[in-house]
Amino acid sequence: MSGDHLTPVLTGRTLLRANPVSKLFAAVVITLALLASIDWVSAAVVLGCELALMPLLGISVVGLARRIWPLLVAALLGAYGTALLAEKTGGVLLDVGPFLFTEGSVAAGIAVGLRGLALALPGIFILLTTDPTDLADALAQKLHLPHRFVLGALASLRLVGLLVEQWEMLGLARHARGIGSDGSLVARTRNLLGQSFGLIVQAIRRATRLATAMEARGFGGGTRTWARTSTFTALDVGVAGVGLVIAAGATTAAVLAGTWNFILS
Amino acid sequence: MASSTALKGLSPRTGQWRVVDIVVASVIAVAVGVLFFVWSAGYSGISVLTAGFPPLAGLYSGGWLIAGVLGGLIIRKPGAAIYCEVLAAAVSALIGTQWGIGVLISGAIQGAGAELVFLLFLYRRWNLPVALLAGLGAGLALAISENILYNALWSFEFKLLYTVFAGLSGVVIAGLLSWLAMRGLARTGVLSSFAAGRTADV
Amino acid sequence: MTPAQAPSPGAASVSARGWGWRHAGRKAFAARHLDLDLRAGERVLLLGASGAGKSTVLHGLAGLLGSQDEGEQEGALLLDGIRPADARGRAGLVLQDPETQVVLARVGDEVAFAAENLAVPREEIWQRVHRALDDVGLDLPLDHPTTALSGGQKQRLALAAVLAMEPGLLLLDEPTANLDPDGVLEVRDAVVRVLDRTGATLVVVEHRVAVWADVVDRVIVLDAAGGVLADGAPGAVLGQEGTRARLAEAGVWVPGRPPAVGGPVPGGGGEVLLSARDLTVARTKRGPAAVEHLALDVRAGQALSVTGPNGAGKSTAALTLGGLLRPRAGRLEASPELAGAAGTDPFRWRSAQLVQRIGTVFQEPEHQFLTPSVGEELAFGPRRVGGTADPRRTGEIAERLRLTHLLGANPFTLSGGEKRRLSVATMLATAPRILVLDEPTFGQDALTWAELVTLLRELIEDGVAVVSVTHDADFIAALGGATLHVAGGAGRLVSP
């Protein structure tokens, strides 16, 4: 539970230079294409493309595996859950007590697992190649989101690591007062809620002071200039284009293969 | 003219956000994101249980919804529930990498569930029943969107079960806990810049 | 374009006419009946008891007090003849806590932030950033992470950040209260350099008068009842016996007048309660070791002060001695007398066993508050230990730490000094043989300081071992005992 992975080291030279908005656009169209249908073909196409683009992240296989293993576990669990709960069609593969798996339900599970993985990876691409300050600049300057909210969110995101540290400090401080991790489940839950309350009190105190500090530096007015310019280059056309191509390709492939399965149908 | 004084001159009733509203809302969202992360670490036994029977995960989902309800109850401005929930979703994406961009969409939908309840009361009522309803709204929004976006292949009775669990969890975890937290926070004095910390009805 | 965004060059003047402010929801005015004129370029030290409204005046001058929904204003407070809220950027405020005023992740962006908010053109922003960093003597790359700075550097960064607005009035609200001695001088010298170049008006609030007495040319003392108690040149105000006495009563550190402390400096100690041999301490399970190969004894009836530069691992060492962190290597052993029925390894004690043996008072009292009232807070420890709290004993402790009138109050609503007293009182409630304190005197006024020292001396006389992490040389001298200097990953023990 260290704060290290909350501020990841940015990698991937090329994508680092791209504007966060173009990366976000590519991720969003791919995500929408995936969300629209649950089928193994569109998921497999997107996943294949994402894996092919992995070298752009400039991170070793081991490093990547260390970062994304929770994602693999989550995909497996999703696949299992659907295989267990989907309509039981086709031949029976396994039938032990309440656990009944059929060909149809397992195929559905595989599709959900692939889709889950394909959905998660664009987030990894953005996380590993985007500086939060650049993202805020781009959201405010290019997408024209309200700058007070964008900068407020940016300033508070910086507190993630500090709050994790504070949580650990609170745990020690409460232990010193006689509340430990020992005790029944009820006592532990009460302690957890008490410690959470303590964290929120500290977070709001911090936030109120931070707001004062920001206002004391003139923050909150209608107009402001930007010390850093967020720009679009040819690279951004490429990033957005690749995103569109992947999304369209996946959808087309699924329709042609006859597996397209619109979620609202 | 830049509106240097406009920010200061606003009544809390007009619904305009002050700087302190924005920063505190943001930090609440971040803190709830961090909390959910450490809670998950503390209850790994439960995640094994929900893995065995996935609809049970609905019972746990209320934890995700605290940011929206708590943010709405404290800030008391239009959009607070949605803003806090979306930002908390972004934090969860930052901390736990198994969620992609889709988590932002989920956050917006869940926040909207709570926001709708606050809107129905015209941003004027902030008592326990409203908090519970907001939790319910968020829980139902979560269940419906998850059922469509992710659990689409489950058979109907399991989707229904998941919805019941998520609604229940929304009422208890997101609604009740947020309301208790709001009341406790008001008593500590940290909410003195907010109507939530000054009014006697808490 | 707006007039507010184009600061006129030069220093700002201030005038207050019967000014007062009451926060919404409060009965009493935070500041009241203030009549004051500051000439452009004056350097003013603002003093007064806690609750006299010093911070409120600074917030008012910075234009941060808000509208009538956030409070009620009396009279007028003007900056260059206009309302401070309409003079955005003319006043720059630096706050007390270095940790809570960093907005952005990189040094350059942090300084640029204020200039951006005032809509300064881009090319000019970066000129201002370089000038401001030069002024405060921060010679760092613009992309240097703000989290990697020391407390003193963070305060200089905060100063640079407001300088980027090119303010005519510099407002400092206890800017050095949370810093170690090196940090204090760092920040003060940076302020002097800035003032010499810009000629801006200065208003600084600080308990420790000696730090600023030579820098300012005027001292103003606010009266807790409203209005001004004394006003004049530093020599005149601080040299007048009547004013000195009243300042000391108000908790201000008056040069040449140390706070009155009861009891003698405690002498040598008794039996060993806790012994460390070849002890290596670390903050986290896998992180780097903070201090290695410590050898020391904690003795009943003796003080042990842990000192050394920021980040040297003092707190980690103290928390380990307090049984809260697992030793990385070596031995930490409780004597049979301290351990009693529990084992000899303090880290393995359950919480309820720990509070009867070692009490640790954290730097931030709020981290240790568990209940909604002071009374319950005092009864909490004894209940954890024995199921009931003896009301006579908790009553005694409340009396001793002057908390009796606050028993029904919510701990979080107390003043800074009261919170500090409560956090010590809650630990005493379970009568531990060892008391560990992390920076107990940080940011405290002279009154709280003297109270704390008197109490700790009494405890030591009663046979309690007091282990404190501190930078405060006066505090170390007042408690006597042994000192552990921690630096560069090693500890050096100076016995009495």
Q: Tens digit of pLDDT for each residue in C299-341?
A: 999 999 999 887 789 999 999 999 999 999 999 999 999 998 8
What's the rounded Cα separation, in Å, for the pair A198 and C370?
Answer: 8
Treating both helix axes as pointing N-terminal to C-terminal, what angle do C107-117 and C122-135 enclose, rounded to 10 degrees? 120
In a domain, A220, yes or no: no
pLDDT for residue C241 is more than 60: yes
Domain count, chain B: 1
- Other CB atoms within 10 A of residue C180 CB: 22
Q: CATH 3.40.50.300 region(s) of chain C? A: 3-249, 272-494
Query: C119: burial class by Cβ within 10 Å (0-12, 13-18, 19+)?
Result: buried
DSSP string, B159-188: HHHHHHHHHHHIIIIIIIIHHHHHHHHHHH
Task: Tell me if B83 and A149 make a contact (CB, 8 A cut-off).
Answer: yes
% residues pLDDT > 90 (chain B): 56
Task: Tell me if B12 and C85 make a contact (CB, 8 A cut-off).
Answer: no
User: What pLDDT, on the 0 to 100 scale, is given for residue C226?
Assistant: 86
Instruction: Pick from C106, C116, C439 the residue to mutate for testing the A interface (most A CBs within 10 Å).
Output: C116
Taking CA atoms, what residue in A is nearest to C93? A216
Average pLDDT, stretch C121-142?
94
In a domain, A225, yes or no: no
- Chain A, window 64-93: residues with a beta carbon less than 8 angstroms from a chain B beta carbon: 67-68, 70-71, 73-75, 77-78, 80-82, 84-87
Average pLDDT, stretch C177-199?
90
A200 and A239: one domain?
Answer: no
A205 and A179: one domain?
Answer: yes
Domain made up of C3-249: CATH architecture:
3-Layer(aba) Sandwich (3.40)
User: What pLDDT, on the 0 to 100 scale, is given for residue A252?
Assistant: 96
Task: Tell me if B2 and C5 make a contact (CB, 8 A cut-off).
Answer: yes
User: What pLDDT, on the 0 to 100 scale, is given for residue B2?
Assistant: 35
Please, what's the b/e burial string for C121-134 (b: 16 or more CB within 10 A of its CB; e: otherwise)? eeeebbebbebbbe
**Is some CB atom of chain A closer than 8 A to the CB atom of C62?**
yes
pLDDT for residue C50 is more than 90: no
In a domain, B65, yes or no: yes
User: What pLDDT, on the 0 to 100 scale, is given for residue B13?
Assistant: 52
In a domain, B2, yes or no: no
User: What pLDDT, on the 0 to 100 scale, is given for residue B10?
Assistant: 38
Q: Which residues of chain B have pLDDT under 70?
A: 1-14, 41-48, 96-99, 200-202
| CATH number given to C272-494 | 3.40.50.300
Chains contacting A (3+ CB pairs below 8 angstroms): B, C
Q: What is the CATH number of the domain that holds B67?
A: 1.10.1760
pLDDT for residue C74 is more than 80: yes
Query: C204: burial class by Cβ within 10 Å (0-12, 13-18, 19+)?
Result: buried
Q: Say which residue the tokens 């302190």 belong to.
A: B20
pLDDT for residue C112 is more than 70: yes
Q: Which residues of C touch A220 (CB under 8 A)?
A: 117
Please say whether the beta carbons of B131 and B175 come within 8 A.
Answer: yes
What's the rounded Cα separation, in Å, for the pair C200 and C9?
Answer: 10
User: What pLDDT, on the 0 to 100 scale, is given for residue B97?
Assistant: 57
What's the rounded Cα separation, in Å, for the pair C494 and C308?
Answer: 13
Average pLDDT, stretch C262-272?
84
ipTM of the complex: 0.90
**Is some CB atom of chain A closer than 8 A to the CB atom of B30?**
yes
What's the rounded Cα separation, in Å, for the pair B55 and B36?
Answer: 19
In a domain, A264, yes or no: no
What amino acid is encoded at B189 in this protein?
G
| Band of residue C133 on the pLDDT scale cut at 50, 70, 90 | very high
Q: Which residues of chain A have pLDDT under 50?
A: 1-6
Taking CA atoms, what residue in C is nearest to A218? C117
In a domain, B10, yes or no: no
pLDDT for residue C251 is more than 80: yes
Q: How close B6 gets to chain A, by Cα (Å)?
A: 8
A112 and A14: one domain?
Answer: yes
Please say whether the beta carbons of B44 and C101 come within 8 A.
Answer: no
Phi, psi angles (nearest 5°) of residue C465: -90, 130
Average pLDDT, stretch C67-79?
86
A93 and A204: one domain?
Answer: no
DSSP structure class, residue C437 = E
Q: How does pLDDT run across C381-417, given as a tens digit for each residue?
A: 999 888 787 888 889 899 988 899 999 999 999 988 8
A250 and A137: one domain?
Answer: yes
CA count, 13 A, side-chain hemisphere, C257? 22
DSSP structure class, residue C292 = E
A129 and A152: one domain?
Answer: no
What's the rounded Cα separation, in Å, for the pair C208 and C444?
Answer: 10
A137 and A239: one domain?
Answer: yes
E strand or H helix at C128: helix C122-135
User: What pLDDT, on the 0 to 100 scale, is given for residue C217?
Assistant: 94
- Per DSSP bridges, beta strands C228-232 and C218-222 are antiparallel
In a domain, A236, yes or no: yes
Q: How close B189 gets to chain C, by Cα (Å)?
A: 6
**Is some CB atom of chain B closer than 8 A to the CB atom of A263?**
yes
Which residues fall within 8 angstroms of residue C307, CB to CB, at 6 or more apart? C314, C469, C470, C471, C476, C483, C484, C485, C486
Of B2, B11, B190, the CB nearest to C412: B190
Q: How close B145 gets to chain A, by Cα (Å)?
A: 11
- Chain B, window 66-95: residues with a beta carbon less than 8 angstroms from a chain C beta carbon: none
In a domain, B9, yes or no: no
Please say whether the beta carbons of C279 and C332 come within 8 A.
Answer: yes
Task: Tell me if C69 and B4 make a contact (CB, 8 A cut-off).
Answer: no
Average pLDDT, stretch C208-215?
90
Chains contacting C (3+ CB pairs below 8 angstroms): A, B
What's the rounded Cα separation, in Å, for the pair B23 and B80?
Answer: 11
A188 and A78: one domain?
Answer: no
Residue A114's domain comprises 4-142+230-257
Q: Specify the range with the lowest mean pLDDT, choosing from A167-181, B106-120, C169-183, C246-260.
A: C246-260
User: What pLDDT, on the 0 to 100 scale, is given for residue A182?
Assistant: 67
Which residues fall within 8 angstroms of residue C349, CB to CB, at 6 or more apart? C323, C342, C343, C357
Please say whether the beta carbons of C90 and C78 come within 8 A.
Answer: no
DSSP string, C77-114: EEETTB-GGGSTTSEEEE-S-GGGG--SSBHHHHHHHH
Domain count, chain A: 2
Residue B160's domain comprises 18-198
In a domain, A262, yes or no: no
What's the rounded Cα separation, in Å, for the pair A102 and A93?
Answer: 5
In a domain, B8, yes or no: no
A73 and A95: one domain?
Answer: yes
Longest CA span, chain A: 70
